[in-house]
Amino acid sequence: MIKPYGSELDELSSCSICNSTTARVLYTAVDRLSNSGERFTIVECEGCGVLRTAPDMSYAELARFYPEDYWGDSAEPSDTWIRRSQREKLEFLGRCGLTGGRILDVGCGAGFFLRALESDRWERFGVETGDKAATIARRFLGDKIVQGTFSAAQFQRESFDVVSFWSALEHTNEPRENLISAAELLRPGGTLIVQLPNATSYQAQAFGGDWFSLDAPRHRYHYSPSALERLLKETGFSVYRTSYFSRAHNAHALRQSLKKRLLSAGAGARVVFYLSIPFIRPFDSLMSALGKGATMTVGARKF
- Tell me the pLDDT tens digit for each residue of 142-168: 999 999 999 889 999 999 999 999 999
Q: Kindly report the CATH class assigned to 79-209+221-247+294-302.
A: alpha beta
Neighbouring C-beta atoms of residue 124, cutoff 10 Å? 23
Query: In whole angstroms, what is the distance from residue 69 CA to residue 233 CA?
Result: 35
Q: Is the pLDDT of residue 73 over 80?
A: no
Residue 176 has pLDDT above 60, yes or no: yes
Residue 297, burial from CB neighbour count under 10 angstroms (0-12, 13-18, 19+): buried
**pLDDT band at residue 9 under the 50/70/90 scheme:** low
| Strand, helix or coil for residue 219 | coil
| pLDDT band at 71; cut points 50, 70, 90 | low
Closest CA to 175 of 29, 5, 41, 45: 45
| DSSP states along 159-216 | -EEEEEEES-GGG-S-HHHHHHHHHHHEEEEEEEEEEEEBTTSHHHHHHGGG-GGG-T
Rounded-to-integer distance, Cα 74 and Cα 72, Å: 7
Side-chain half-sphere exposure of 55, counting CA atoms within 13 A? 10
Is the model's pLDDT at 2 over the cut of 50? Answer: no
* CA–CA gap between residue 146 and residue 199 (Å, rounded): 30
> CA 225 → CA 35, 77, 219, 246, distances in Å?
30, 34, 16, 15
DSSP string, 119-132: TTTEEEEEEE--HH
What's the number of CA atoms in the CB half-sphere (13 Å) around residue 62? 20
Closest Cα to residue 181, out of 104, 271, 263, 265? 104
- As a whole number, mean pLDDT of residues 12-35 equals 92
Q: Is the pLDDT of residue 125 over 80?
A: yes
pLDDT value at 260 more than 60: yes
Average pLDDT over residues 234-246: 98
Candidates 257, 273, 169; CA nearest to 213 is 257
The whole-number pLDDT of residue 36 equals: 82
Considering only 7-11, 38-42, 179-183, 297-301, which range has the smallest mean pLDDT?
7-11
Residues in contact with 211: Cβ distance below 8 Å, sequence separation at least 6, in sequence order: 29, 203, 204, 253, 257
Q: Where are the domain boundaries for CATH 3.40.50.150 in the chain? A: 79-209+221-247+294-302
Q: Answer whether residue 3 shows pLDDT above 60.
A: no
pLDDT at 279 over 70: yes
The whole-number pLDDT of residue 185 equals 98
- Using alpha carbons only, what angle is made at residue 34 by residues 33 and 40, rounded to the nearest 5 degrees? 95
Task: Answer whether residue 249 shows pLDDT above 50.
Answer: yes
Confidence label for 226 from pLDDT (cuts 50, 70 and 90): very high
| 8 pLDDT above the threshold of 70 | no
Average model confidence (pLDDT) across the chain: 93
Distances 197 to 3, 61, 109, 218, 221 between C-alpha atoms, Å: 26, 23, 18, 13, 10
Length of the chain: 303
pLDDT computed for residue 67 by the predictor: 85
Over residues 225-247, mean pLDDT: 98
Q: Is residue 173 over pLDDT 80?
A: yes
